[in-house]
Amino acid sequence: MVGMSELQAVFWDMDGTLVDTEPYWIESEYKLVKAHGGTWNEEKAHLLVGQALSYSAGILQEAGVQMSAQQIIDHLTAQVVAKCAESIPWRPGARDLLAELQAEQVRAALVTMSFTPLARAIHQALPAGQLEFIVTGDMVSAGKPDPEAYHLAFDKMAADHAERTGAPLQRSRCIAIEDSVPGTAAATASGMVTLAIPHYTPLPETGQWHVFDTLDGARVEHLRQLLVRDPVPAV
């Protein structure tokens, strides 16, 4: 029987949550739009935070980028991968929390709308085993705010967990950590307990997720406490 406070797994968003790559994306968007003679601004850039890359590509096309959606995705991803090869901007507290999760044998995985090349670069920069696997935007047919990526990640983790332990993985014992409106919407729709760390975009106070101002100083015990609080009501 799984205890009410037993934290089984943590599913991490990447951009803006684990790493502060949003400035890399925004800089690349500005340069791409400018190269095609279009116009870009901070409002449009922030609109893309947490969105599926296919959605972002459509907005960039509307801004004047004369490339196919896949060409835009490949170009931006390559630009951000190159910048991360020079310096990975980790979010405060994220690596410390990952290390403690591993030390306490709490499983963790990455669920991001970035495509595999970037997610793999971040994954490989971490100590082995801290993130067991990655689910990326090019593995799903519907991006965040659709919960498909979280369902895929949970099902993958659940199958392995059952094989290892003979016990079920429970969504109510899993936490998703997100920073954006699309991300928190996807996580809550998946049935996981959701922890929001607002960063580039403000999050509405719907009562569907818990909020920490930062992960700096966050401990595994703080995550466990989220599991035993009163259920967050759906709207």
Tell me if 13 sits within 8 A of 183, measured CB to CB.
yes
Check residues 203 and 96 and name the one with the higher pLDDT.
96
Segments making up each domain of the chain, as ranges: 9-20+89-227, 22-86
Tell me if 109 sits within 8 A of 134, measured CB to CB.
yes
Which CATH number is 22-86 given? Answer: 1.10.150
1 — pLDDT class (breaks 50, 70, 90): very low
According to CATH, the superfamily of the domain at 9-20+89-227 is: HAD superfamily/HAD-like (3.40.50.1000)
Q: Quick check: pTM over 0.85?
A: yes
**In the prediction, which pLDDT does 5 show?**
64
Burial 45-62 (b: 16+ CB within 10 A, else e): beebbbbbbbbbbebbbe
150 — pLDDT class (breaks 50, 70, 90): very high
Tell me if 29 sits within 8 A of 57, measured CB to CB.
no
4 — pLDDT class (breaks 50, 70, 90): low
Neighbours of 132 (CB within 10 A): 16
Per residue in 66-88, pLDDT tens? 999 999 999 999 999 999 999 99
Strand order in the sheet with 9-12: 134-135, 107-111, 9-12, 174-178, 193-196, 210-211
Beta strands in the chain, from DSSP E residues, in sequence order: 9-12, 107-111, 134-135, 174-178, 193-196, 210-211
Please determine whether the domains at 9-20+89-227 and 22-86 fall in the same fold group of CATH.
Answer: no
Closest CA to 76 of 93, 95, 51, 101: 51
50 — pLDDT class (breaks 50, 70, 90): confident
Per residue in 210-234, pLDDT tens? 999 999 999 999 999 999 864 454 3
